Amino acid sequence: MLACFRSIHLAIVLIALLALATLAGVLLPQEGIVDTLEIKRNAGANYRIFKAMGLYTVYSSYWFIALEVLFFLNLLCGSFQWLKPAFLAATRKTFCGPEHIQSSPHKLLYQTAEPLGTVTAQVTSLLKRHHYTIHKPNVPKQRRDGAILLYASKANWSRFGPVVAHFGILLMLVASVYGAFFGFKAQKLAVPGETFAIQDSQMFRPNVNTSLWQGSVPDWKIRVNDFRMEYYPEGTTAENVQPGQNPVIKQYFADLSVIDKSGRTTKREVISVNHPLTVNDTVLYQASFNPTGKLFVEVNGKLRKLDTNTQFMNRPVSLTELGNGRALMVFPFFVQQDPNVTRNYIVIFLRDAHGFVGAKPGKMPPNLRLREGQSGELSGMRFTYVKPEFATGLQIKKGPEVPWMYLAYGIIILGAFMCIFSQRRLWIAILPAVDSDENPQTRLMLQYKTNKARLSFMKELQSLQNELMTGLQVQTIPADAVTSVENNKPALQKGSTHAEEMSPV
């Protein structure tokens, strides 16, 4: 049963399905990020079908979680299958005799007049300078041919690169499923001065069905202290706005306070787009803004908050009694709502029992047009347009999986980095040559193997050979000039690896 889960074909199918699901999650608006009413309005008759398929909640839908679980099992079984060979290749120390090295197609053979002990010391020192780790048999066996056997290797840890990367992917899948059952999303339009609890947001929903959700809602509240927008300076972007287009807003900011159960402010921060407020595993993003229709206007130096409470010629207006037989009528214009408007402004009229104050037949009644921060006089009264009131759109997300996701990505990057390097291994036999007693020689036999980067490895071997020729005055000898010391049958010393270890590079 487990064999089917570690199938590479199953892994390819699952990766393809997860990629398609992720693409659907990117292209289609997701509930909790986009308002449900807007999704319904844009989807039309297709909303019910896509909703039933879970395409508006892709990452927390049950079929997506099922794909993640299957992929987790696939990687887990595969990792256990690959872990033992990788561990053995990285940790097993093998020693090959002259017979086996002679039979290998990947060998280097040298001969020198230096004594056996000098050659052994020089070779050991040379390999250490090239960052190899040298191993000798724990219980050296007295060989009939008097050979000294060495095993040298480096970058053994690179063999664990795929295993480390797979572990990172496994952790990422576990964290994703954990976040689906313990996280939530919420959206809130809040005006300056408002304090609200997260569960009282206009749209609060857990990532999965409420009956399966295992998370909790923070018990602290959020107070919006202020909200402001920043436009590009006049004479640059705003001056170049074409008719029918709104000016470009540079940034918008919300001043937020976190209030605990006792009413104490535990944290205060000004957030903006791409600069959220983080409280433990809950993050508050500055997502949008919307005019509320309320206006702050000074009348003869007294600040008043005006509501758009009526309509005039099918347009929302503010009509406020001033207490002196007059009424203040204000027409607001917003860049977010009115075409060809490049700056928020208001148009002020005064009314009395007879109509517009100062009106003459066939002419526009006296009025005052003010942009934000501007002042003016109308019929003996002074007005200052302070600013319109905007509600800040906050997106609130609890993602307990986020730190684990970052850790998983780090582990995956580490595993990929480990895979860049190649494990390089050398099996060495140093033995007296079969020559006359008058001309003693020492023979150096070397077998090499690497799992990748063969060209780089061959350059390193060439460098080793050059240093051997300089330090020991070694001479290369042809492979067919050396016969087996004992017999022509290849043999491995006890403790050496299996045939796969000695296969051609």
Mean pLDDT by 10 residues, the chain (505 residues): 78 94 91 77 87 88 92 86 83 90 91 90 94 87 82 93 91 94 92 92 87 91 92 54 56 94 94 93 90 89 90 88 89 78 86 89 91 91 91 92 95 95 94 67 92 92 91 77 43 37 34
Give 170's contacts (C-beta < 8 A, 6+ positions apart): 72, 75, 76, 79
Burial class (CB in 10 A: 0-12, 13-18, 19+), 201: buried
Long-range contacts at 458-464 (CB < 8 A, ≥ 24 apart): 460/130, 460/424, 461/108, 463/130, 464/126, 464/127, 464/130
Q: Are 22 and 30 in contact (CB under 8 A)?
A: no
pLDDT at 482: 52
Would you say 497 and 124 are in contact if contact means Cβ atoms under 8 Å apart?
A: no
Considering Cα of 124, then 130, then 131, then 132, what sign does the dihedral take?
A: negative
Q: Give the per-residue pLDDT at 488.
A: 38
What does the alpha-carbon distance between residue 329 and residue 383 come to, in Å, rounded to a whole number? 12
Q: What pLDDT, on the 0 to 100 scale, is given for residue 495?
A: 39
Helices (H), 104-186: 116-129, 161-182
Compute φ and ψ for 253, nearest 5 degrees.
-130, 145
Q: Which two tokens stand for residue 16?
A: 């393809």
Whether the CB-CB separation of 415 and 168 falls below 8 Å is answered with: yes
> Domains in the chain and their CATH numbers?
92-155+422-502 (3.30.160.110), 294-388 (no CATH)
Q: How far apart are CA 465 and CA 108, in angstroms?
A: 9
Q: Where are the beta strands (DSSP E) in 314-471?
A: 316-321, 327-333, 345-352, 355-356, 368-371, 375-378, 381-398, 424-432, 442-450
